[in-house]
Structure 1
Amino acid sequence: MASQAATGEQPNVLIVEDEFIVALDLSETVRDLGYKVEGPFANKDHAFIAIDQRMPDIAILDVQTADGEVYPLADALSEAGVPLVFHSGHATPEELRERYPDAIACSKPCPPDQLIGMLARAKEGAH
């Protein structure tokens, strides 16, 4: 089955962020762009349940979630070919790109226009 990005529909974006206000802001920005939002999830365990039901086209991930580091989820998404956008204050973009060379990363706080650009780049790389 083709992903939404491949069929010309707006991608489904998974958001994992445990800071309530940041999660709401990210979700609103993503929705305003016409993307479909899965989440936001404050912990990776709930996000794992969501990706078992439906794999997203793009994922926006905070490194430190309510139930620990997001890396096991990021590994699963990366192995599935999902473009990753890290939005974190707990790891530098350089550290994240070292672990996930194809990932896009920014440090919090990230201005909305920068996030919009990162989503556009991730959409280009979506399967």
Structure 2
Amino acid sequence: MASQAATDQPTVLVVEDEVIIALDLSETVRDMGYRVEGPYANKGHAFIAIDQEMPDFAILDVMTADGEVFPLADALTEAGVPIIFHSGHISECEIAKRYPNALTACKPCPPDKLIQMMSEANKRAH
């Protein structure tokens, strides 16, 4: 995508309304050498961000400060952006029915599993 060509770093959209988790996710993304877009506590701000620049992939909490993240996930899926759902509110089966190509990390997710999922999502983006 355009964002990676411009910076040579994949851009990762992070949408998470729990501050500590959002900071931890962002740090993990940066540690992998990726650029963080966000973190955003609500999907409204994330929509503004993707309108300006589509990320290479996204890490989304299901329940955000302004409701379920699914409208944002639909827009990202339509644009071909790989998604990692990071949530304690919905099962992997429920996600797989609606988003068969998405990856799912149930909270709390061990950092090594999340890192593996980010590597997979980045591969899918290219």
TM-score for both structures, normalised by structure 1 = 0.94
**Cα-Cα RMSD:** 1.5
Which residue of 2 is the match for residue 119 of structure 1?
118
Distance between the aligned counterparts of 2:7 and 2:23, measured in 1? 26
Ranges in structure 1 where 5+ consecutive residues have no aligned partner: none
Residue 19 (structure 2) aligns with: 20
Counterpart Cα distance in 2 of 1:85 and 1:26: 12
Aligned position for 1:57: 56
Contact 2:16 2:60 in 1 (8 A): yes
Question: Once the 2 structures are TM-superposed, how far is the Cα of residue 93 of structure 1 from its aligned partner?
Answer: 1.3
Within 2, Cα distance between the matches of 1:6 and 1:97? 31
Is the contact made by 1:16 and 1:47 (CA closer than 8 Å) also made in structure 2? yes
More helix by share: 2
What does the per-residue CA deviation read over 1:67-94, in whole Å, with 9 as the maximum and x for residues that have no partner? Answer: 0000000000000000000000010111
TM-score (norm: length of structure 2): 0.95
**Match in the other structure for 1:75:** 74
For this pair of structures, how many residues does the alignment match? 126
Contact 2:3–2:54 under 8 Å retained in 1? no
Cα contact 2:3–2:53 (8 A) shared by 1: no
Q: For residues 39-82 of structure 1, what are the alpha-carbon distances to aligned partners after superposition, in whole Å with 9 as ceiling and x for unaligned?
A: 00000000000000000000000000000000000000000000
Offset of 1:4 from its aligned partner? Answer: 4.3
1:40 partner amino acid = P
Question: 5 Å matches for 1:94-109?
Answer: 94-109=93-108
Residue 2 of structure 2 aligns to a residue in which SS? coil
The answer on whether the counterparts of 2:3 and 2:56 sit within 8 Å (CA) in structure 1 is yes
TM-superposed deviation, 1:6: 6.7
User: How many angstroms apart in 1 are the aligned matches of 2:5 and 2:82?
Assistant: 13
Deviation at 1:10, TM superposition (A): 2.3
Q: In structure 2, give the amino acid aligned to 1:111.
A: P
Alignment partner, residue 29 of structure 2: 30
Q: Judge which range, 93-102 or 57-66, deviates more.
A: 93-102
Identity over aligned pairs, percent: 67
